[in-house]
């Protein structure tokens, strides 16, 4: 089955830029979506189709995808960005949806 690997945690100072990676075999050939989940809340999509940004999501959030790694980047980090972040793809070989292992972001 297809596996997506993320770093367990990322720390960023307020006002700085953070990046979260999502590794998968030839992930660059797939559409990657990113979700933010704050404690006690349901997930919400922050980036879709590698680089798309839903309405209401700040321009600070951006995505990229190439080769074996997709990346979510957010600039000018704020305390409100503290959350768990998950990447997700659809694996056409199995018709299954796959979530990454998740990354806990701390702003300090």
Other CB atoms closer than 10 Å to residue 18's CB: what's the count? 19
Give exposure, 1-14, as e/b (b: 16+ Cβ within 10 Å). ebebebeeebebee
Smallest gap from Cβ 14 to another protein, in A, equals 26
- Using rule CB under 8 A, residue 35 touches another protein: yes
Q: Which of 17, 54, 67, 76 binds another protein (CB under 8 A)?
A: 54
Binding track over 57-86 against another protein, x by CB under 8 A = ---------------------------x-x
**Closest to 96 (Cα-Cα) out of 30, 49, 28, 15:** 30
- Using rule CB under 8 A, residue 26 touches another protein: no
- Using rule CB under 8 A, residue 39 touches another protein: no
Q: Classify the phi-psi angles of 51: left when phi > 0, otherwise alpha if psi is within -120 to 50, otherwise beta.
A: alpha
- Using rule CB under 8 A, residue 31 touches another protein: yes
Which one, 9 or 17, has the nearer CB to another protein?
9
Measured distance CA(29)–CA(42) in Å, rounded: 28
DSSP 39: T
Q: Please report, as ranges, the residues that interact with another protein according to CB under 8 A.
A: 1, 31, 33, 35, 37, 42-45, 48-49, 54, 84, 86, 88, 90, 92, 95-102
């Amino acid at each position: 089955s297809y596996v997506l690997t993320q770093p367990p945690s990322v720390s960023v100072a307020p006002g700085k830029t953070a990046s979260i990676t999502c590794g998968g075999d030839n992930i660059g050939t797939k559409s990657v979506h990113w979700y933010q989940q704050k404690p006690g809340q349901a997930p919400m999509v922050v980036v879709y189709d590698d680089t798309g940004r839903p309405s209401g999501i700040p321009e600070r959030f951006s995505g990229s995808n190439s080769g074996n790694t997709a990346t979510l980047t957010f600039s000018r980090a704020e305390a409100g960005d503290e959350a768990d972040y998950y990447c997700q793809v659809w694996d056409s070989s199995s018709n299954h949806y796959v979530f990454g292992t998740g990354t806990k972001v701390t702003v300090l």
